[in-house]
Amino acid sequence: MFHAQVLTLFPEFFDSPLACSIPKRAIEAGIVAVDAIQIRDFATDRHSKVDDSPYGGGPGMLMKPGPVVAAIREARQRQPGTHVVMLTPSGSRFTQAKALEYTEKSSITLLCGRYEGFDERICDYVDEEISLGDYVLSGGEPAALCVLDSVIRLLPEVLGSPESAVLDSFSEEGILDWPHYTRPEEFEGKRVPDVLLSGNHAKIEQWRKSQAASRSRQRDVKGKGHDE
Ligand code: ADE
């Protein structure tokens, strides 16, 4: 079984997304287990303080190293060999390739911060720093949820059809997916491309590949799978 742990001040954040759809089925089938560890449980002072103001001044609060590092140690003890990932906008960009890489591990631990970020020294206790993109979320939780979801759906036996994970966007050399159509044949004057109704499978495949390639060019998927 694949084990995921989230280190967070808001364990309830994950409850309803993991109780729906593919993650729900994967958990029920015993393919994945997701455990939350409450960082505040590792605070040592009377007020269970987990944040403090930055040295040198400036706005906002930072996660203190003490409780966070104690929570990381607990996570490593619960799942020896777990890969600890800090979610932070200053990390390296999360990609489909990363999601696939994580499925090869026995366990990942996702560290979510609140406030303006983490005390820099916490970075020495994690294996990797990951960002979802160049924007700032109110905390690491939404980012951790995206990482979890993208990893869970790639675990062997999670998706009904093993082909769908292989065929979707990004899986093939970073090329975006082709356009899809379902019934009706015409919707508000917009017709399904004739080639898809032709029954000519070679032509359909050719059309899909060329559509995917031109989409990748247009949307500037970095560097892969298409001519510059
Ligand atoms: N925490 C806040 N913003 C984030 C982002 N863009 N990616 C990952 N973690 C974050």
The percent of residues in the chain predicted with pLDDT above 70, rounded, is 89
Q: Is the pLDDT of residue 207 over 80?
A: yes
Which residues form the catalytic set? Answer: 89, 116, 153, 168
- Which pLDDT band, with edges at 50, 70 and 90, does 226 fall under? very low
* Contact residues of ligand 1, CB 6 A cut-off: 87-89, 131-133, 135-137, 140, 143
CATH superfamily of 175-224: tRNA(m1g37)methyltransferase, domain 2 (1.10.1270.20)
| Per-residue pLDDT tens digits for 11-23 | 999 999 999 999 9
Query: What is this structure's pTM?
Result: 0.91
Tell me the CATH number for domain 2-152.
3.40.1280.10
Task: Say if CB 199 and CB 190 are below 8 A apart.
Answer: no
- Which pLDDT band, with edges at 50, 70 and 90, does 212 fall under? very high
Pocket test of ligand 1: the residue of 85, 130, 137, 145 to mutate, having most ligand atoms within 8 Å of its CB, is: 137
- CA distance readout (Å), 24 to 29, 96, 152, 153: 9, 21, 10, 11
Q: Is the pLDDT of residue 228 over 80?
A: no
Cα(131) to ligand 1 centroid in Å equals: 5
- Residue spans per domain, the chain: 2-152, 175-224
Q: Is the pLDDT of residue 224 over 60?
A: no
Q: Is the pLDDT of residue 51 over 50?
A: yes
Residue 212, judged by CB atoms within 10 A of its CB (0-12, 13-18, 19+), counts as buried
Lowest mean pLDDT among 30-44, 70-84, 172-186: 172-186
Cα(93) to ligand 1 centroid in Å equals: 10
